[in-house]
Homo-oligomer: A and B are copies of this chain.
Amino acid sequence: MYHAIAQDIIKAIVAGEYETKLPTEKALMTQFDASRTTIRRAIDVVFRHGLLRRVQGSGNFIVKQPQNSATVLNLSIGFDRAAMVAGGPLISKVVTFDRIKADEQLAKQGNIAIGDELYRVIRLRYLQDQLYDLEESYFPRAVVPYLSEDGVQHSIFAFLRDAYGIYGSTTENYVHQVRLNATRAKLVGQPVGDKTMCLDGINYLASGIVFNFSKTFFVYPDLELYYHTENIDLQD
């Protein structure tokens, strides 16, 4: 239930329904007919997505930075990232869609076993006719029994949710720079060996099983990856 409330609040925020701060917890309790515990858990979720700054005694203030610019991608949102890109959804052009077996490298990348069958989806994605990224994405068939040519054109995660009720819970993200090999360089139209920002992501189900992993090469000019962290004091 707190998930649903968190969704509603997030939608309200991105729709610009709140000027500077959220309604008080009390107000939200009556609005959603839920206990304070539940409301606070929902706010927790919104907060963790980098959309709020909480101030005790004062309120929950909307953070305005990351969504304003088309050059900022909020990774704290989690997958269906396309939905959160300012300037509209990303348009996909599928380059490769097939089934392969995991070699040693892919097994390591996806934290799975060698030889596991995978759907492979390679797509170029565009934001308003400007190339945004090259995405190489893999789905273990043990978890995703079928993926349609049609489904991979749009949001794959939306397809999995609707078709199988597959629902991701956590993602491990690794950001680094890689030098493009010839194939990738040609696809994105950059020189071979060019240092490109790359995001390796591994998506887990609540059960702890990998249902997707991917490499995303970002080529959109001046793109910034945003995320939000909380800190604790690791003092001795």
Contact = CB atoms under 8 A, between A and B. Distances in A.
Interface of A: 3, 6-7, 10-11, 45, 48-50, 53-56, 61, 63, 65-66, 72, 75-80, 83-84, 111, 158, 161, 167-177, 194-195, 197, 200, 203-204, 206-208, 222-235
Contact of A175 (B50, B175, B235): B175
A169 B230 contact: yes
Q: Which of A158, A167, A176 has the most CB of B within 10 A?
A: A176
Nearest to A177: B197
A170 B72 CA distance: 19
Q: This chain: how many copies in the complex?
A: 2
Contacts of A11: 234
A90 to B, nearest CB: 15
A222 B176 contact: yes
B174 A229 contact: no
A170 B113 CA distance: 37
Nearest to A178: B222
Contacts of A77: 229, 234
Contacts of A176: 197, 222-225
B231 A169 contact: yes
Given A3-B233, A7-B232, A53-B208, A227 B173 contact: yes
